[in-house]
Every structure is written in structure tokens, then in C-alpha cells.
């Protein structure tokens, strides 16, 4: 085997392109058009604070009964003494999970799905087998491996601190690799390099990086993170059962809402590929580290907290909470479905029993090709331009309410989500204004409110 063959194979693996396919050029420097807050103050603050908060939340739950004030009063010296250490057990759990989810994504049957065209004119291709992977994952772990005594899902709770610390360090190293790969071996023409190392590392360089033919966003965001989210919540319910001999109504309600939501996520996986995370946010610290570390550290806080703080709600109250969550999921689904149906049929459909109100827009991608689309101004999208974020906030409240209102920690995710979605709405407004121009201005005249009518 010659050195040229080795280099060619390595290039094909790093770009994710077939051997011999044209290699995308390295990204040229693009001036950064951003305020100092978004260029370096915000990224630096988040990269310092998020790893610290991830560990402190675990310390508060495990060593201070979930009391943040008690933890703060203990001081940094106490925090340091409780910082979990990485372990080979945690490495095995993480790598095993990634390997299993990668294998299921690769081998399970699924239909081909073409995502939205990128600004560079590329249409990414995905394999939709999320529901089958969800069934195999949950059925295999909780229906086969646990009953047979091969794996004990309840043990994750006891190794969780070590897993978080290992993920924190490992995900940071992986983001460094993504930065290097984006500079040297981009997978497509949408890579953006600003020359600001801090911003480029935080925001990411590539939009749709591939590695060995694997779409990293689908593997990491959907299968490793989102699939892991629902599995972690179920594992914590198992832990509570092992510790107390029963699963509290609060844990049942919280986990039930989350499981239904995430099952719907994989049922509607193709819709996720039209989201801001996939279509517009590049794959750097903000997205990659976030889904690998911030999700297990923060998103499962209600269920993690409930392990040692069970609340026995009346079954009717718990049922009402679940019903509220299901209603929120339904509204969120209907909002997304309305927009996709209108675009897929080019407006030849109905919305709430009437012909949809449309704005037929045009936009041009970076390759100079003009595209046409429709902006929906009726149904849920006539209520507010980003109304679908409201049922998301309601849904997050539904799986947090079972933890009660006596502690702030379980509610941190809801507060974080409110800030995240508000910022996302503002960023999306700016992007759409630049992309659609006069068509977007017409849309904002027809649909006045961004998220919540009468408020914002």
C-alpha cells in the first residue's frame, strides 16, 4: 500500500466523501460581522460557565440535597472536594453508547431523506430509522438486558458524576478535532472560517460535517444525545425503584411526558432536520459540546432530582400533568406539521379548514441558484412567527411540575430554555430578514408577534 493510497483513504474518511470524489476547498477567511458580545464575550463566558455549572448542579443534587444556597454557602473548597473524577468505567459507558447508536443508525433499515438545501447549494442526505432505533434501544436495555441481569440501568445514577466529568473533557477534545477538521478537511462548501479562533471554535466551522460517511449531526444530536436523554430518564426511574421499592407518581409523570415527547421526536425525525440547529447552526462547542454534556447535565435535572426527592402526587393530579404535556406535544407537532405540509404541497392544502395564507418568497444561495419557497401566515404561524416555541416551554414545564415548586434546581432547565428560545427567535429573525428581504418584511407586517401574542 503506497503512501498516496493511505493519504487518499484518510482524506476520504475525514471528509466523509467517497474515495476519489472532488475534495471541497479549505474555507477562506470570512470577515466576522458580529458585535463584541457575540464575537468573544458571550462565547468565552459560556465556555467558562457551562462546564462549571454542569458539575455544580451534580454536586448540589448529590451532596447538598438539591439546595443551591447550601452548596454556595459551603464554598469553593467544599466544591473541589466533591468534584467527580473521570474513570475508565465512564469511558466504557460513553464509547459503548456511541458505538451502539452508530451501529443502529448504520444497519437498521430506513428510508432516504433529503434535508433542506444549504446556503452553499448542498442537500444533505439522512437515513430515517429513528423509531426502529428507539424501539431496539429501549426494548433491548429495559426489556432484555436488565431482566437477564446483563446490564443494570439503575447503576448509571451512581456513575453519573464520573460520566459527566469524562464527557466534559472528552467533548471539549472532540470539538478541538472538529475545529481542525473544518479548517483542513471540510465535508462541503458551507464551512465558514472567520479567523477568530475563539468564535470559530465556539460556533463551529462546518455546517454538516461527515466522518467516514456518517452525518455527525444526526449521530451526535439525534442518536447519542436525544436517544440518551430518554434512556437516562428511564434509568433514574429504575434507580428510584431499586432504592425505595416503588416509582413515585411524580417520577412516573415526569418520565412519561418526556418519553412521549422523545418518541414523537424520532417519529418526526425528518422535521428536526429543518430546525435551526441542523439548518443554520454550525457544529462547534455551542451545538456539539452542548448536546454531549449540557443535555445530560441540565436537561435531565428534574428526573435526577426526583430520584432522592420523590413526591407522591394524587394519581389524578399526576394524570392531569401528563395530559397537559401530551396536549403541548400535540400543539407543537401540529405547528410543525402545518408548515411542512404547506411547503411539501406548495400551498395546495388547507390549514384549520381554510386555504393557507401564503407569501411566495424567493432567495438565492451562495452558488448563485435562485430558489422558491412559501412562508405560511395562517394557522399557528399566523398567531406568532415563532409560536411553536410556546408549546415547547409548556412541555418542559409539564415534566418539571412533578418535582414541585419548592426548589429552583429542577426548574433551571425551563429557565434556560426560555432564554435559549428567545435568543433563537431573535437570531432566526435576523437570518430570515437577510435571506428573504422584502418577503420577510411583508410577513412581519401580516404576523406582528414573534412568540407570544400581546407580550413578545
CB atoms within 10 A of CB 137: 20
pTM for this model (two decimals): 0.92
User: Strand pairing of 214-215 and 358-364?
Assistant: unpaired
Which three cell numbers mark 249? 407518581
In contact, 405 and 377? CB cutoff 8 Å: no
Question: What per-residue confidence (pLDDT) applies to 6?
Answer: 44
Burial class (CB in 10 A: 0-12, 13-18, 19+), 126: buried
Question: What per-residue confidence (pLDDT) applies to 78?
Answer: 92
Nearest to 119 by CA among 279, 347, 10, 1: 279
pLDDT by 10s per residue, the chain, length 456: 454 554 567 888 888 887 667 788 888 888 888 889 888 999 999 999 999 999 999 999 999 998 999 999 999 999 999 999 999 999 999 999 999 999 999 999 999 999 988 988 889 999 999 999 999 999 999 999 999 999 999 999 999 999 999 999 999 999 999 999 999 999 999 999 999 999 999 999 999 999 988 999 999 999 999 999 999 999 999 999 999 999 999 999 999 999 999 999 999 899 899 888 898 899 999 999 999 999 999 999 999 999 999 999 999 999 999 999 999 999 999 998 899 899 889 999 999 999 999 999 998 877 778 888 899 999 999 999 999 999 999 999 999 999 999 999 999 999 999 999 999 999 899 989 999 999 999 999 999 999 999 888
Give the integer Cα–Cα distance in Å for 328 and 290: 24
Which three cell numbers mark 78? 467544599
CB atoms within 10 A of CB 143: 11
Question: What per-residue confidence (pLDDT) applies to 88?
Answer: 97
Question: What per-residue confidence (pLDDT) applies to 20?
Answer: 67
List pLDDT tens digits, range 110-160: 999 999 889 888 899 999 999 999 999 999 999 999 999 999 999 999 999
Question: What per-residue confidence (pLDDT) applies to 7?
Answer: 56
Give the integer Cα–Cα distance in Å for 199 and 408: 32
Give the integer Cα–Cα distance in Å for 381 and 361: 16
Give the integer Cα–Cα distance in Å for 282 and 208: 7
Amino acid at each position: 500500500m503506497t503512501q498516496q493510497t493511505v493519504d487518499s483513504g484518510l482524506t476520504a474518511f475525514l471528509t466523509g466523501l467517497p474515495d476519489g470524489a472532488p475534495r471541497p476547498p479549505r474555507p477562506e477567511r470570512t470577515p466576522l460581522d458580529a458585535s463584541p458580545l457575540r464575537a468573544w464575550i458571550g462565547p468565552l463566558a459560556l465556555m467558562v460557565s457551562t462546564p462549571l455549572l454542569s458539575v455544580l448542579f451534580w454536586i448540589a443534587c448529590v451532596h447538598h440535597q438539591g439546595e443551591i444556597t447550601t452548596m454556595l454557602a459551603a464554598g469553593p473548597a467544599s466544591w473541589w472536594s466533591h468534584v467527580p473524577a473521570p474513570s475508565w468505567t465512564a469511558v466504557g459507558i460513553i464509547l459503548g453508547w456511541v458505538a451502539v447508536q452508530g451501529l443502529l443508525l448504520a444497519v437498521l433499515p430506513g428510508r432516504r431523506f433529503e434535508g433542506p438545501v444549504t446556503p452553499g447549494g448542498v442537500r444533505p442526505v439522512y437515513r430515517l430509522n429513528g423509531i426502529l432505533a428507539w424501539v431496539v434501544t429501549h426494548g433491548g436495555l429495559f426489556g432484555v438486558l436488565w431482566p437477564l441481569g446483563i446490564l443494570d440501568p439503575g447503576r448509571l445514577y451512581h456513575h453519573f458524576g464520573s460520566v459527566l466529568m469524562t464527557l466534559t473533557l472528552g467533548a471539549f477534545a472532540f470539538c478541538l478535532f472538529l475545529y481542525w477538521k473544518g479548517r483542513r478537511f471540510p465535508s462541503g462548501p458551507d464551512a465558514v472560517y472567520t479567523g477568530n479562533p475563539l468564535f470559530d471554535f465556539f460556533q463551529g466551522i462546518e455546517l454538516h460535517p461527515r466522518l467516514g460517511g456518517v452525518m455527525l449531526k444526526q449521530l451526535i444530536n439525534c442518536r447519542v444525545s436525544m436517544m440518551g436523554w430518554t434512556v437516562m430518564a428511564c434509568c433514574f426511574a429504575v434507580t428510584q425503584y431499586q432504592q425505595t421499592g416503588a416509582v413515585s407518581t411524580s417520577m412516573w409523570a415526569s418520565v412519561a411526558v418526556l418519553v412521549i415527547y422523545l418518541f414523537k421526536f424520532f417519529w418526526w425525525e425528518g422535521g428536526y432536520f429543518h430546525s435551526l440547529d441542523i439548518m443554520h447552526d454550525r457544529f462547534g462547542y455551542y451545538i456539539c459540546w452542548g448536546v454531549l454534556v449540557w443535555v445530560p447535565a441540565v436537561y435531565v435535572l428534574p428526573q435526577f432530582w426526583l430520584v432522592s426527592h420523590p413526591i407522591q402526587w394524587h394519581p389524578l393530579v399526576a394524570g392531569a400533568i401528563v395530559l397537559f404535556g401530551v396536549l403541548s406535544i400535540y400543539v407543537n407537532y401540529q405547528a410543525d406539521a402545518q408548515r411542512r405540509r404547506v411547503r411539501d404541497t406548495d400551498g395546495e392544502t388547507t390549514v384549520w379548514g381554510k386555504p393557507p395564507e401564503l407569501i411566495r418568497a424567493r432567495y438565492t444561495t451562495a452558488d448563485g441558484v435562485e430558489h422558491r419557497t412559501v412562508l405560511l401566515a395562517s394557522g399557528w404561524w399566523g398567531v406568532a412567527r415563532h409560536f411553536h416555541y410556546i408549546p415547547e416551554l409548556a412541555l418542559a414545564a409539564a415534566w418539571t411540575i412533578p418535582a414541585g415548586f419548592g426548589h429552583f434546581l429542577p426548574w433551571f432547565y425551563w429557565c434556560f430554555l426560555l432564554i435559549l428560545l428567545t435568543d433563537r427567535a431573535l437570531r432566526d429573525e435576523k437570518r430570515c430578514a437577510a435571506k428573504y428581504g422584502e418577503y420577510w418584511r411583508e410577513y412581519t407586517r401580516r404576523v406582528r408577534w414573534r412568540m407570544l401574542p400581546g407580550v413578545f
